[in-house]
Chains A and B, each alone.
Chain A
């Protein structure tokens, strides 16, 4: 079974530029999550999708961050314009909601450096 795929793996941009990350979840997983992990901290949930719909985006800085999940499969997370404090690893995870567990499976992450 293929795991969660993310690209790119690394990205360096200057502040005020824009950037986009892509995630392909495990086949059949209805729930998709985007997390931001700043060095030395645990992951912070940015947005959670159930199929195409957003079920939680309470911690997403909506003035600069946006995310979409078309056709309930792939997802993109965009930052525009980027700030220095956006430097972090962006993790995508998915889970199968046919059970009660919502067990999460993570991709390798995208390391973003904003200079």
Chain B
């Protein structure tokens, strides 16, 4: 059974700082890994999807990396802004029909 862990559960940083969010998974036989952002009371917004054959993906100030062999992914946010404050979730696609398993999320607060 796939298990996904995100550490830390919460993070508070001053504006402008670069930061890294972590996602670990127990079964390395994955198809894809997707990072999401969730604002309070809202649904999930897709940030980046990394296919199992890829090492990283970039979008603007975001960079996500994937190391399947060690069961890890990181989301790097450069020059953080108050608008980045949200909960960040990673989701792993594995098994038949690419079953999705989510982590518990990291709640990020960027202080102006």
Contacts and interface: CB of A to CB of B under 8 A. Distances in A.
Interface of A: 4, 31, 33, 35, 40-45, 48, 50, 55-56, 91, 93, 100-109, 111
B102 to A, nearest CB: 4
Contacts, number: 64
Contact of B104 (A41, A50, A55, A102): A41
A27 B87 CA distance: 28
Contacts of B36: 106
B99 A45 contact: yes
Interface residues of B, number: 27
Given A91-B44, A102-B32, A108-B42, A33 B100 contact: yes
Contacts of B93: 102
Contact of B46 (A31, A104, A109): A104
B102 A56 contact: no
A33 B103 CA distance: 17
A101 B102 contact: no
B34 interface: yes
24 contacts: A35-B102, A41-B105, A42-B4, A42-B6, A42-B102, A42-B103, A42-B104, A44-B102, A48-B97, A48-B100, A56-B97, A56-B99, A91-B43, A93-B44, A100-B32, A101-B51, A103-B46, A103-B49, A104-B34, A106-B43, A106-B44, A106-B46, A107-B43, A109-B42
